[in-house]
Structure 1
């Protein structure tokens, strides 16, 4: 097994591993392990895509989700790609806020330039042009705090996946 991980600066860590087993064999390992009565994780399996969620009782706003893609290279070789991230609702909310801040920044920058070129008061626009990147940085650090809060659960999901793949 060969594993590649990206750096820790990303909010959504990714990894990639190569296996000398067929795609169907790896998928059946997950199906068997997830159907086991002792398995506490919620999941969905569609073709080569597996989504594993934290148990409902342990779930909180920052709980991660593990998305696994099992890709067939040939009859006996596969690549397992994984992505840790927040639930889709949380990710969508964060992306909406990032988009709104970016649009507001562009709007206030244009407004500041127009007011400056018309020689009118552009103080508010300039304050917003400075404040919005600060807000963006605060949102980035909030995401990092959320990632840290869900890190233990991320480790548990990763351990569950590795135990499943090593069977």
Structure 2
């Protein structure tokens, strides 16, 4: 999977596996019982989450969410989604909402000052800073995704090993 050429921050993949969904879920449950020192698995219904733990876990460590869907007799369709740590994702969403709120407030102030024929340079500066902050958050998120590329490949390899066992 080529990570750096993607525009999206959350990487997805789709895969058809010639095994029953129940068999695959059982394999993930068996791996969960082994207590691996570097990874842990959570399952809920037809959803599986693979996480990195221990000394390998960094702030940029991704997790892998798999949705297993029964399609044919002995066929499972897997939807995979690599995502950042939920705490980091929540922090980024908080920053985005904060920037969007400031942008909207100063857009209203800019319009009022424009209609009243007051100075609007400060408002334009703040709006420009908010646009710059949005781009900055995007590039920071891309860098975090780039830092986690090796761990994404580890999680994908782990998924393949579990399904192949």
After TM superposition, the score normalised by the length of structure 1 is 0.89
| Separation in 1, partners of 2:112, 2:35 | 65
Q: Classify the secondary structure of the residue corresponding to 1:146.
A: helix
| Separation in 1, partners of 2:26, 2:17 | 14
2:108 corresponds to 1:73: no
Count the aligned residue pairs.
Answer: 163
Give 5+ residue unaligned stretches, structure 2: none
Give 5+ residue unaligned stretches, structure 1: none
Query: Is this contact kept in 2: 1:15–1:81, CA < 8 A?
Result: yes
Give 1:90's aligned residue. 88
Deviation readout 1:123-148 (Å, 9 max, x if unpaired) = 11111111111110000001111111
Deviation readout 1:108-160 (Å, 9 max, x if unpaired) = 11211110110112211111111111110000001111111111111111111
1:49 to 36, 47, 58: 47
Give 1:102's aligned residue. 100
Give 1:18's aligned residue. 16
Give 2:56's aligned residue. 58
| Separation in 1, partners of 2:164, 2:41 | 19
